[in-house]
Structure 1
Amino acid sequence: MLSLRTAVRRASTKPLRSLSAPQTVSSVRLGSPVARHSLKASAAPLLQSRRYSRAADPQLSSTRSTVVQLLSNIGSKREVQQYLSHFTSVSSQQFAVIKVGGAIITEHLQTLSSALAFLNHVGLYPIVVHGAGPQLNRMLEEAGVEPEFHDGIRVTDGKTLSLARKLFLEENLKLVEELERMGVRARPLTAGVLFADYLDKEKYNLVGKINGVNKKPIESAIEAGCLPILTSMAETPDGQVLNVNADVAAGELARAVQPLKIVYLAEKGGLFNGDTGEKISAINLDEEYDHLMNQWWVRHGTRLKIKEMKELLGDLPRSSSVAIIHPADLQKELFTDSGAGTLIRRGNKVHTKTSLSEFEDLEKLKDVLVRDREGLDARAVVDRYVEGLKEANFKAYFDDPMEALAVVLPPQKGSSLAHLATLTITKSGWLTSVADNVFTNIRKDFPKLVWTVKEDDENLTWFFDKADGSLSREGEVLFWYGIESGDEVKELVLEFNKHGRQMFGDINLESRLLRTAQAASHIGKGFGTSGASVEQRRAFSSSSNALRAARSARPMVPVNVRTYATTNPNPPLGEKNMSNNRPSKVALIGARGYTGQALINLLNAHPHMDLRHVSSRELAGKKLQGYDKRQITYENLSPEDVQRMAENGDVDCWVMALPNGICKPFVDAVDKVSQKDNVIVDLSADYRFDSNWTYGLPELVSRSTIAQATRISNPGCYATAAQIGIAPLVPYLGGQPPSSVSPDTLAPAPSPARRTILTNHIHEKEISSQLGTDVAFIPHVAVWFQGIHHSISIPLKQEMTSRDIRNIFHDRYAGERLVQVVGEAPLVKNIAGRHGVDVGGFAVHTSGKRVVVCATIDNLLKGAATQCLQNMNLALGYSEYEGIPLE
């Protein structure tokens, strides 16, 4: 029997930033006193030598290996190794220049130091330059000095400079000491690096314009195994200290050392789109700069920063990039494809050709095509392929150095599907995201595309992210996007199952162009759009959701690859997998509670849900608040009223938001009229064990089953989070059951009655029944309002590592928009108000045969209303996530 206990954690608990590992010399918790002592002690003999070599230190080499493994918890091992290889391909001082704002030192010193220590422990040496603007403002105010600015530049007189100099030295020492406390050697460089002339002495007084950078102190620090920590102070040739802007100082340092990364650490963690309010993931300056600068919200500081970044990157190698990021997300930004902040890069313009005659050098084209090929016949295969292109209708996409090359075959006669026949990308192309740029351009030109990839392709997750759907078969994965018709999907799957990749083209040149063209023509015959009847909607949902189920059955790890800032090549979510564009009439029975109100808010934003009736005995006669589509007055509907409305066809979907044991008369009233035409979603526990009802947990239950159902029992909040946290490990269960607890977070003043349900809780039965294994469940009550935290202790039948567990969860929930797999134990405060489930922790006992998995869920949303809307969408023929805000 598996037992499930959830530990109570207060919502205000701060996330633990340090990493945990088995307590050995080489894998202690970085940042802990034990780790600092061990690292300092083991390194002491080496540090006494005149020159320190990390490569010669076996203890720190072992630590690097451990940290690399731990880094894999925030991304894939491929990503970490790939980026580490990239960063260590240049000299140590060329890895990164990191600019730290003064507010970061004040508010996030430990987080900043932990992030820098992390980089140092994998052998990376960022050059850090910091400011102290907010601290200086406070110091001047306390000293009675009125700050003066011209054009955003602080006018610096003698008194201001004196205070600033003292402050900068204090802040520099504060960061250095914190790093040393964490076992990281750091060297303060407060003079002798930046040289300057007066910017404009009459206007700004003691403000400098940097005209030179002395790299020797930086190189000396790194050679000695120390992180160089610089202040943004410069000196004139005669020794006068001048104040310079920290952003400017970072830029000039970057021009001098030519780093791969320039990182600006900021509390906001990136730039934000003024229209959508969303963080901008990436900006490709070559493609987007002009368009971006014409946006109304790109003004003032944002406009100046983007302009400065463009000028800076223009002076650096094309491989360099700028990242604006919060220090807590520094590792994710550097070591994952998705990143975490705003990435700014020059990029490469994408060119297109539609015939071989347009290529100036066919031999160069062949060299590009052959670079992914193996075997003695590689050149011969490419020669035949290029010969076939002479007669083919195609469109090729590539950047100037041909780091990426794609060949797309346009739709043939009678078809609407284009085929990605070839995509070859160098390692540098993946790292600099040229692949994203190429794919964005393809998507602009071809609204519907199919392609196949080998199942063991190391970049499979990238393709998965680009696709709307996928299907695995015999070592091949079929991907597609833009397909909206159920008939198209069915035909596509039939052809793939019948002929495999020979009929669809393949990015590795294994298929023949002629066969691909024939397949395109064949698939295009007979395609049409499905109608809007219930039966047709469900037929479509069955086919499209079967494919999603197939994707879940053979999971792939999702990677949220960066998209560009000002373009959106993906169709709106509501246009995917949707066969019904007619509104559905909804009745909500039992709307007084928190869940009812949460569902009303979601329905209010849903483009196709038409809330017609809201029933509440206590609120009858009052106006419904929070719904803008029409005026609705609360009713007190009886089962007889419900039967009459069902007979008249007034409602397409009934939502029962009633307490346990009450909704049966209302369900019976609908059943008397029709068993098929109306959808019922019940939020209570009344029908969760009824075999005639479908259990509506889309992430674990076949979506095609839910899409064809008319009677759906909505899982409970406890049960949803628990099943999400346990399901991936069911095949690995074994051993004696541990104990566990779970806090109920809804009631601000918990009642003693709710605390005493320690055995035989209804959710214990629900979880055990759905997972097919015994689970012990003990609910507790916490003082926060929204959110539930599970700490699930799971016995294993075989020894496993934390990484093994994490990979299993990544694979199981690949592509699930409402399940987020995280490295650390998730916090209630981070899930409250959000529509999904966070799963993480993955702490494995030293025996390797027990793991603790943590899961958090908002009990009103994914634990009730959001999940209800998922089920309604599927059953009524809409996109599953329509109307659900997604991060």
Structure 2
Amino acid sequence: MILRRVGLRLARSLGSAKYPGALSSYIQHQLSTAGRLNGVARAYIRYNSTRSTVIQLLNNIGSKREVEQYLRYFTSVDSQQFAVIKVGGAIITQNLNELASSLAFLNHVGLFPIVLHGTGPQINEILEAEGVVPEYIDGIRITDSKTMSVVRRCFLEQNLKLVDALEKQGVRARPITGGVFTAEYLDKDKYQLVGKIKKVDNTPIEASIQAGALPILTSLAETPDGQILNVNADVAAGELARVIQPLKIVYLNEKGGLIHGESGEKISVINLDEEYDSLMKQPWVKYGTKLKIKEIRDLLMHLPRSSSVAIISTGDLQKELFTDSGAGTMIRRGYKLLTRDRLDQFESVDAFKNALVEDPFFNGSTELVNSYVDSLNYAKFKAYADEPFEAVAVVKEIDSDIPVLDKFVASKDGWQNNVADNVWSALRSDKSSLQWVVPEDSERASWFFDRADGSFVKNGKILFWYGVESADTITKMIKDFSKTVPQSASSRLRPSQPRLYSTLARPDIGRIVNKRGAKRYSSSSTKKARVALIGARGYTGQNLISLINKHPYLEVVHVSSRELAGKDVEGYTKSAVKYENLQVEDVARLEKEGSVDMWVMALPNGVCKPFVNAIGDVRGNGAIVDLSADYRFDNTWIYGLPELNDRTVIAKAKSVANPGCYATGSQLAIAPLLHYVSGQPTIFGVSGYSGAGTKPSPKNDIKFLNDNLIPYTLTDHIHEREVSTRLGTNVSFIPHVGQWFQGITLTISIPLKKHLSSKDVRNIYEEKYAGEPLVQVTQDIPLVRDIAGKHGVVIGGFGVHSSQPRVVVVATIDNLLKGAATQCVQNINLMLGYDELAGITLT
């Protein structure tokens, strides 16, 4: 009963989430199932599993369309048709737990991927230990009887290892090491015991799924008379997919995708019908890459067009399956794209009209569609579409310097199968600049936000544009747009796009969002907000009080400090406020009464949980920003680093974990080069002694620090874990304390995949932080003495090693301001709907 009450509370709490119905129903279904299990322990495990699954799902899904896509997969596809996942042998050796966790997640949401694994590295290791050199012809392993005994043993060992790892995750799994593939000899004289698959029997797979177990297959095959043959795992996965016809075929590898041979970048998407011929002519497409692309094309030609192949890393499996952005390299057939600038060029004008009926503007009226299409006979236009017209765009040249996207329409399949993205890519490569208008309440508004350089919102309409640099041109577009928008109550800026920024415009005109301008998220809110600080005795608390004192809308109503209770809060002049010694029950009462709009936890690590729990238990209107490290690794909290994280998610959050000072500077200094990082960056950091707090210690003892530098926490510092977790790559961090009061300097050595010049590196940083008012990029080496008392971060140096691909970057940050108090105010502003830099004076 307790379990059920807790679970239903979780379900109800998700009622305010973006998609409450499906998720809440899913939780209640799981809880109902849990109630029928034998024993409280099993029910408790199921509840924890459900809760973890929901949190993980919410973290991986970012838009309504992505949720629809997941629900579509979940409800309309036979379980065994969801995905075939081929796992390389090296993955089982190096990433077993991560692989098991990802597969367990899929199973917990009701899906049964068919897993087929290889064991190449393990075979080679054993053969080499026995003094046998592996032999290959045309990339195929020659398998004699001795090698086959090793192959079979390795397959059985690795299969059981994966099954055991899954069962430890609470997932039923069934080893299927034979009986699926029937084969004949590929070439007995040449390759010996190597098979060519002639038949796939999916009966053992179906039986496994019907029994509620994930099927875990090897690529071993048998001849009709029972001789075991070795088959390449990639080939076996392809043959299996031809029979199963899944939505996804996933190849897990260490590189996480196909790498472009010239740029060194990971290829995101390949649309075969459009790109195959030109791709195969590229000089870098050769050998194994050429063979793999050809084999994948041959496979996809035998599958429905909705099927696709993904080549990804283990950690990106959920992202690939449940987000539009995906991960690694996705290969699909797609369709050839059409462009037409006259109606008589269309093979079927009726197909064009049928596609346009999907536009909400026409409200399903064929009469209106016919009238619109007829009007194109007298207009200068260009239409873009895929062959079956799943997505259509119409661009008009009008009396403006910037062409107008007049229509962009896609069917449900067009959106979910990324056809809309293909059409947009063709349009974008053809038109260097464009403007268009979308209703603010459109469910596709976030999709358009992602593809725009800027936007302007007025009275329920959004004007978007890209490729427009001239301020005069933007002003004219806005004026022309404003004339067409009926006057009504002012609208709000819809926070649906990742990394959405805005600058304030006149309230009678609207609001501008411009990625190339000052990157600030703002709202028209001017409502006063009441702030309570819990634990404000330290340096950060003092700086926070000073910032709030200058803030146009924030007011301090409570400041809690046990040591200072009863004394006046110095530095705050808006009203007379005294320090209090607030207890947990006081905080709960104030939250229940609605007396506080924003709680700031400025307590040491490991102390604030009782206060946070008290607020959560009675949850009124109060939001929380925590300055400690207690919730930086909690997926239910939002991580508040606006320059790198999703500002709109912060804006909607009720609980935000403020990043650490070292962690903020380090992440901002490494993030622009993430795509180029080939190893583990090393961070040498030195902080002023204010970072050691006010409690006396050698690290803030001025005499001890004189002519001294103190290393501390040489390994496993909390900020090392924080930076590694947030960047998704391991870093080494070595902190020190210097003899100055405030400010941090970070010298970071970053190994690169390829040589970049100092200028190249600087350009990457300038592009990444263009328009970020709190991040300054300079070619010079920034000095810590210049950052003290400043709100931002300075990044520079960019020293490139002469003989190896390695760059050294230097960053400085004030640990008390952007490293703590300033960033806290940024997050408060976003959460309460103010201009992001309200109360923060740029100097």
Give the TM-score taking structure 2 as reference length.
0.61
AA aligned opposite 1:472: V
Segments of 5+ residues of structure 2 without an aligned counterpart are 12-29, 501-513, 557-599, 606-610, 625-633, 675-721, 728-732, 734-743, 749-761, 780-794, 799-843
Query: Does the 8 A contact of 2:82 with 2:246 survive in 1?
Result: yes
Instruction: Give the equivalent residue in structure 2 for 1:401.
Output: 388
Moved more, 274-283 or 451-460: 274-283
The match for 1:279 among 258, 263, 266 is: 266
How far residue 295 of structure 1 moved from its aligned partner, in angstroms, is 3.0
Deviations along 1:760-779, one digit per CA (max 9) or x if unpaired, are 67754565457646667579
Query: Does the 8 A contact of 1:192 with 1:214 survive in 2?
Result: yes
In 1: Cα distance, 2:531 partner to 2:541 partner: 23
In 1: Cα distance, 2:197 partner to 2:131 partner: 30
Instruction: Give the equivalent residue in structure 2 for 1:851.
Output: none
Instruction: Give the equivalent residue in structure 1 for 2:507.
Output: none
User: After the TM superposition, which residues 600-619 of structure 1 pair with which residues of structure 2 at under 5 Å, given as runs?
Assistant: none
The answer to whether the aligner puts 1:555 opposite 2:555 as a matched pair is: no
The answer to whether the aligner puts 1:248 opposite 2:238 as a matched pair is: no
How far residue 61 of structure 1 moved from its aligned partner, in angstroms, is 11
Deviations along 1:622-679, one digit per CA (max 9) or x if unpaired, are xxxxxxxxxxxxxxxxxxxxxxxxxxxxxxxxxxxxxxxxxxxxxxxxxxxxxxxxxx
Deviations along 1:156-192, one digit per CA (max 9) or x if unpaired, are 1111111111111111111111111212111111110
**Secondary structure of the corresponding residue to residue 274 of structure 1:** coil
User: After the TM superposition, which residues 497-516 of structure 1 pair with which residues of structure 2 at under 5 Å, given as runs?
Assistant: 497-500=482-485
AA aligned opposite 2:403: A
Deviations along 1:683-717, one digit per CA (max 9) or x if unpaired, are xxxxxxxxxxxxxxx55588xxxxxxxxxxxxxxx
Moved more, 393-402 or 728-737: 728-737
Instruction: Give the equivalent residue in structure 2 for 1:302.
Output: 289
**Secondary structure of the corresponding residue to residue 72 of structure 1:** helix
CA change 1:816–1:91 in 2 (3 A) is closer
The answer to whether the aligner puts 1:473 opposite 2:458 as a matched pair is: yes
Moved more, 164-173 or 305-314: 305-314
The match for 2:402 among 417, 432, 447 is: 417
Query: Does the 8 A contact of 1:764 with 1:777 survive in 2?
Result: no
In 1: Cα distance, 2:9 partner to 2:175 partner: 27
Instruction: Give the equivalent residue in structure 2 for 1:67.
Output: 53
User: After the TM superposition, which residues 218-233 of structure 1 pair with which residues of structure 2 at under 5 Å, given as runs?
Assistant: 218-233=205-220
The match for 2:84 among 97, 105, 110 is: 97
User: After the TM superposition, which residues 714-753 of structure 1 pair with which residues of structure 2 at under 5 Å, given as runs?
Assistant: 737-738=533-534
AA aligned opposite 1:831: Q
User: After the TM superposition, which residues 763-774 of structure 1 pair with which residues of structure 2 at under 5 Å, given as runs?
Assistant: 763-764=543-544, 768=548, 772=554
AA aligned opposite 1:193: V
The match for 2:119 among 132, 142, 155 is: 132
Deviations along 1:814-833, one digit per CA (max 9) or x if unpaired, are 58999999999989599374
How far residue 425 of structure 1 moved from its aligned partner, in angstroms, is 0.5
Query: Does the 8 A contact of 1:115 with 1:330 survive in 2?
Result: yes
How far residue 410 of structure 1 moved from its aligned partner, in angstroms, is 2.3
In 2: Cα distance, 1:389 partner to 1:206 partner: 65
Query: Does the 8 A contact of 2:639 with 2:645 survive in 1?
Result: no
In 1: Cα distance, 2:296 partner to 2:279 partner: 13
Deviations along 1:170-216, one digit per CA (max 9) or x if unpaired, are 11111111111212111111110011111111111111111110011
CA change 1:736–1:219 in 2 (3 A) is same
AA aligned opposite 1:464: F
In 2: Cα distance, 1:701 partner to 1:90 partner: 41
The match for 1:431 among 412, 416, 420 is: 416
In 2: Cα distance, 1:474 partner to 1:41 partner: 48
The answer to whether the aligner puts 1:831 opposite 2:675 as a matched pair is: no
In 1: Cα distance, 2:492 partner to 2:763 partner: 21
How far residue 23 of structure 1 moved from its aligned partner, in angstroms, is 6.6
CA RMSD of aligned residues (A): 5.2
The match for 1:110 among 84, 87, 97 is: 97
In 2: Cα distance, 1:450 partner to 1:428 partner: 25
Query: Does the 8 A contact of 1:818 with 1:835 survive in 2?
Result: no
Aligned pairs, number: 602
How far residue 868 of structure 1 moved from its aligned partner, in angstroms, is 11
Instruction: Give the equivalent residue in structure 1 for 2:143.
Output: 156
In 1: Cα distance, 2:373 partner to 2:386 partner: 19
Query: Does the 8 A contact of 1:450 with 1:481 survive in 2?
Result: yes
In 2: Cα distance, 1:222 partner to 1:106 partner: 26
How far residue 419 of structure 1 moved from its aligned partner, in angstroms, is 1.0
In 1: Cα distance, 2:668 partner to 2:499 partner: 24
Query: Does the 8 A contact of 1:258 with 1:316 survive in 2?
Result: yes
**Secondary structure of the corresponding residue to residue 60 of structure 2:** coil
AA aligned opposite 1:145: V
In 1: Cα distance, 2:221 partner to 2:80 partner: 20
Determine which structure has greater relative contact order: mean sequence separation of CA pairs < 8 Å that are 6+ residues apart, divided by chain length. 1
User: After the TM superposition, which residues 449-598 of structure 1 pair with which residues of structure 2 at under 5 Å, given as runs?
Assistant: 449-500=434-485, 555-558=495-498, 577=516
How far residue 296 of structure 1 moved from its aligned partner, in angstroms, is 3.3
AA aligned opposite 2:426: N
Segments of 5+ residues of structure 1 without an aligned counterpart are 1-20, 29-36, 47-56, 503-549, 561-574, 579-697, 703-726, 741-756, 781-791, 839-853
CA change 1:739–1:229 in 2 (3 A) is farther
How far residue 40 of structure 1 moved from its aligned partner, in angstroms, is 11
Deviations along 1:799-826, one digit per CA (max 9) or x if unpaired, are 7899997599999965899999999998
CA change 1:146–1:866 in 2 (3 A) is closer
Query: Does the 8 A contact of 1:813 with 1:819 survive in 2?
Result: no
How far residue 348 of structure 1 moved from its aligned partner, in angstroms, is 1.0
CA change 1:22–1:165 in 2 (3 A) is farther
AA aligned opposite 2:285: V
CA change 1:379–1:234 in 2 (3 A) is same
CA change 1:860–1:210 in 2 (3 A) is farther
Deviations along 1:22-75, one digit per CA (max 9) or x if unpaired, are 9749989xxxxxxxx9999867679xxxxxxxxxx9997997798356412222
AA aligned opposite 1:81: V
Query: Does the 8 A contact of 2:85 with 2:113 survive in 1?
Result: yes
The match for 1:87 among 52, 57, 73 is: 73
In 2: Cα distance, 1:871 partner to 1:399 partner: 33
Identity of aligned residues (%): 44
In 1: Cα distance, 2:524 partner to 2:108 partner: 32
Instruction: Give the equivalent residue in structure 2 for 1:78.
Output: 64
In 1: Cα distance, 2:355 partner to 2:670 partner: 46
How far residue 308 of structure 1 moved from its aligned partner, in angstroms, is 1.7
CA change 1:354–1:872 in 2 (3 A) is closer
**Secondary structure of the corresponding residue to residue 59 of structure 2:** coil
Query: Does the 8 A contact of 2:531 with 2:555 survive in 1?
Result: no
Give the TM-score taking structure 1 as reference length.
0.59
The answer to whether the aligner puts 1:798 opposite 2:621 as a matched pair is: yes
Deviations along 1:493-544, one digit per CA (max 9) or x if unpaired, are 1122222399xxxxxxxxxxxxxxxxxxxxxxxxxxxxxxxxxxxxxxxxxx
In 2: Cα distance, 1:372 partner to 1:486 partner: 32
How far residue 491 of structure 1 moved from its aligned partner, in angstroms, is 0.6
How far residue 294 of structure 1 moved from its aligned partner, in angstroms, is 3.0
In 2: Cα distance, 1:64 partner to 1:399 partner: 41
CA change 1:559–1:364 in 2 (3 A) is farther
Query: Does the 8 A contact of 1:26 with 1:60 survive in 2?
Result: no
How far residue 236 of structure 1 moved from its aligned partner, in angstroms, is 0.7
**Secondary structure of the corresponding residue to residue 174 of structure 2:** strand
In 1: Cα distance, 2:362 partner to 2:158 partner: 59
CA change 1:27–1:245 in 2 (3 A) is farther
Query: Does the 8 A contact of 2:84 with 2:114 survive in 1?
Result: yes
User: After the TM superposition, which residues 180-195 of structure 1 pair with which residues of structure 2 at under 5 Å, given as runs?
Assistant: 180-195=167-182
Query: Does the 8 A contact of 2:309 with 2:331 survive in 1?
Result: yes
In 2: Cα distance, 1:40 partner to 1:872 partner: 49
User: After the TM superposition, which residues 750-829 of structure 1 pair with which residues of structure 2 at under 5 Å, given as runs?
Assistant: 758-759=538-539, 763-764=543-544, 768=548, 772=554, 777=602, 797-798=620-621
Query: Does the 8 A contact of 1:27 with 1:66 survive in 2?
Result: no
